Structure formats: C-alpha cells, structure tokens
Amino acid sequence: MREGSLLDVRELSVRFAMQRQSLLGARPVLQAVRGVSFSLRPGRTLGLVGESGSGKTTTAMAAIRLTPAFSGSAMFDGVDLLSLDPEAMRQRRRHLQVIFQDPYSSLNPRERVGAIVREPLELMMPEMPKPARKERVRELFGLVGLRPDQMALFPHQFSGGQRQRVSIARAVATNPRLIVCDEPVSALDVAIQAQILNLLRRLQDDYGLSYLFISHDLGVVQFICDDVAVMYLGQIVEFADRPSLFSRPRHPYTAALLAAAPSLTRRKSAGYVREGMVRGDPPSPLSIPPGCAFASRCPRAQPKCREERPQLVHDASGSVACHYPNACDHRASLVGASSFCRNTSDGAGKSMHLRSVKWR
C-alpha cells in the first residue's frame, strides 16, 4: 500500500459474462476494467475521465464494492475492501458514500427528502438518539443550502440542482471519508453546475472529504481535481497531477480529449479549425485489440502500436501508457495548451491570435 493513501486500488479487474450467442456456445466475456491501479490521498480529489464505456464508473463502483470485482485489491484505511466479510463491509459503508449523476432517479419519489437524508443515519449509526438524528438532518440541510422547512417536501417538488443538494446531504450525513461522485453535475444547467461544484469543494475543505470524481467534462475536472486518471477501454492510459495533465498531456488520447473540449477561445469568427481530432468510436470491450486499444483512432499510431500493448510507465511527472508519448515539452503537447491561448499549427505568418477573453 502506498504511503499515506486513503484508498489504494491495485490491479483491479471487472468482467461481465454476457448472454450466450447460441445454446452450447461459450458466454462472451466483457472486460470492463482491466488491471487498474491508483491511489487517493486523504482530503484530495482524484478524477477519472474518459468517454462513455471507458470503465470510469465501473472502476469506482468496484473499488467500493458496489460492483463485484474479478480480481485485484482495494485497500481502504489499511483493509482490503474486496476480501472483507459482508458484515465488516457493511460497517465500513458509512465511510464510503456515492453521489449519482441523475438527481431524478437517485431519490425515492415516495419518500420525503428529510427521511431520505435521515436514512443513512438510521442504517449506519443506530446508536444515535432520535432527537440528535433530527438535529443532524436539520444541520445537513443548512450545510447544503436548503431550508429546514423543505424537509417535509417530496423530491418532485425540487429542481434538479436542489435535488442534487439533497443527494449531497444524504452522502455526507454519516461523516464519510470517501465520496464517489459519479458525474454529479452532468445533468445540471451550467449556472447550477457552478453552485454545486463550489458546494462540493467547500464541504471538502470543511470536513476533509476525499472524492473519487467521475466526469467526462474536462473543464469540471480541471476545476475540482488534484490528480487525474484518464481511462480508455478499461485501462488507465495516463495519470498525472492536474497542472501537468492539463498543460502537458502526454498520451495522444488525453491530447485529443483536450482538443475536443469546448473552450471560449476557439472562435468561429477567427476561423478555428480543430486539429488532431480522433475519429470514430472506441473498439468493443468484447473484442479488445491485441495492441494499444487506442491505436485504431490514434493520429500517431505506428505498426508497433497495433501489435504490442503499451504498459503504464511511471516517472516523476506521472504515468503514461503509450509507445510514443508526447515528450514533456513536445510541440504536440501544445494541442492541449492551444485550447487556451492560440492555435499553434499554422506557422508564424498566418498564426491566428484568438483574442483573449476578459475575465471579470
């Protein structure tokens, strides 16, 4: 186990057996997560990013044993969650909570929101006296920016942002140490997104929470995460701290994600044309190619990439799994940086300076 980490996941794999194609045929195996390792330090936020189907959610859910893992370990506070007996696991659940993406389907429509927030206290802290529980719920409502008189309402009486606040109150009720945030702001309007992101960070500061933060929005990830793991087809292809990843992406997939993310400075008026774009869709996790999984879409793929699977190589500035990664100061790394300042591709003469946006 890594020194001082709260959650240390080693070689985690998740497989799902699919339906037989024929009566006597073997069940095809879908490899959703393939040997993923990462560690999360207390009070920090680790981002898991990637496209749909890259295994972000499955990885996080398997790490806290909400999805059965095929192999691997997940050390939480010095104990392997994946080999605990069920009762001991249940005892630990109060330290592991989840905030889901969809604030509509993740709250019971028939229950008053006060009861929804109280439920984890009843289940996991039965020793707490009833009046104290009630007081705690009231306190939680204040904490997430809801009024105590709203406790008697039902979920449908709230907006999406307010429902997400209820979810957050429910997640922090038992004073957990780790919260898995599964795309917590993806379903919200931008203005509400900012409110929720600020709230999550304030709670982290006040209670020393650690977040495993799943998102496909790199802007959000850059705002809230300290470290970022980029996933592709069930594996981590790059791991780095936030400043390194966003200023010097080394895996071509990371660079492509950054090039694809919307930004205010890429203007149609300035004739912006995207470069280094990935084409098509990722391969099926049912038939994973022998070489690098990204080779079929990679703008820089070589024959070696299609034959030999690159291993995650660690060094001072992070880890990357690529035969031909961008060097730390390589020009291609500017693909990411260009999202901010200017397009670097077309030489000095006709380089287009995109006007910098004024920040108030």
Partner 1 sequence: MTEPLLSIRDLKVEFSTRNGRVTALDGIDLDLMPGETLGIVGESGCGKSITALATMGLIPDPPGRIAGGRILFDGEDITHADARRLRSLRGADISMIFQEPMTSLNPVFTAGDQIAEAIILHQQLGRAEANRKAVELLRTVGIPEPERRARSFPHELSGGMRQRVMIAMAISCRPRVLIADEPTTALDVTVQAQIFDLMRDIQKEFGVAIMLITHDMGAIAEMADRVAVMYAGRIVEKGSADAILDNPLHPYTRGLIDCIPVLGKAAGEQGRMPPLAEIPGVVPPLHLLGQGCAFADRCPLAFDRCRIETPILDGRSHGVACFATEMEAV
- Where does this chain touch partner 1 (CB under 8 A) — which range of 28-36, 64-72, 75-83, 245-253? 245-253
Rule CB under 8 A: choose which of 278, 292, 305, 320 binds partner 1.
278
Rule CB under 8 A: choose which of 267, 304, 314, 331 binds partner 1.
267
Residue 19 contacts partner 1 per CB under 8 A:
no
Nearer to partner 1, 73 or 204 (CB): 204
In the complex, what is the shortest distance from the CB of residue 257 to partner 1, in angstroms, rounded to a whole number? 6
Structure tokens at 105: 């389907």
Contacts of 184 (CB under 8 A, 6+ apart): 99, 100, 101, 164, 167, 168, 196, 200, 213
In the complex, what is the shortest distance from the CB of residue 187 to partner 1, in angstroms, rounded to a whole number? 10
- Where does this chain touch partner 1 (CB under 8 A) — which range of 94-102, 112-120, 273-281, 320-328? 273-281
Question: Contact at 8 Å (CB) between 12 and 63?
Answer: yes
Question: Contact at 8 Å (CB) between 113 and 151?
Answer: yes
Contacts of 96 (CB under 8 A, 6+ apart): 64, 76, 176, 177, 178, 179, 180
Structure tokens at 296: 């079929």
Rule CB under 8 A: choose which of 144, 258, 298, 305 binds partner 1.
258
- Residue for token pair 């001072």: 316
* CA angle in degrees (0–180, nearest 5) for 114-118-120: 145
Rule CB under 8 A: choose which of 48, 173, 180, 259 binds partner 1.
259
Looking only at residues 319 through 358 of this chain, which bind partner 1 when binding is defined by CB under 8 A?
A: 336-337, 339-341, 355, 357-358
Looking only at residues 162 through 191 of this chain, which bind partner 1 when binding is defined by CB under 8 A?
A: 162, 189-191
Rule CB under 8 A: choose which of 86, 126, 129, 280 binds partner 1.
280
Residue 222 contacts partner 1 per CB under 8 A:
yes
In the complex, what is the shortest distance from the CB of residue 94 to partner 1, in angstroms, rounded to a whole number? 28
DSSP string, 235-291: EEEEEEEHHHHHHS--SHHHHHHHHHS--TT--TTTT----S---S-PPPTTS--SS
What is the contact mask toward partner 1 in residues 191 to 220, using x (rule: CB under 8 A)?
Answer: xxxxx-xx--x--------------xxxxx
Pairing of strands 45-49, 210-215: parallel
Tell me which residue of 305, 308, 350, 307 sits closest to 325, measured CA to CA: 305
In the complex, what is the shortest distance from the CB of residue 220 to partner 1, in angstroms, rounded to a whole number? 5
Burial class (CB in 10 A: 0-12, 13-18, 19+), 315: exposed
Residue 152 contacts partner 1 per CB under 8 A:
no
- Where does this chain touch partner 1 (CB under 8 A) — which range of 30-38, 134-142, 252-260, 324-332? 252-260
- Where does this chain touch partner 1 (CB under 8 A) — which range of 58-66, 91-99, 170-178, 258-266? 258-266
Rule CB under 8 A: choose which of 12, 256, 295, 321 binds partner 1.
256
Count of CB atoms situated within 10 Å of the CB of 253 = 28
Structure tokens at 175: 């004073």
In the complex, the residues that contact partner 1 under the rule CB under 8 A are: 51-52, 159, 161-162, 189-195, 197-198, 201, 216-220, 222-224, 243-244, 246-248, 256-269, 272, 274, 277-281, 336-337, 339-341, 355, 357-360
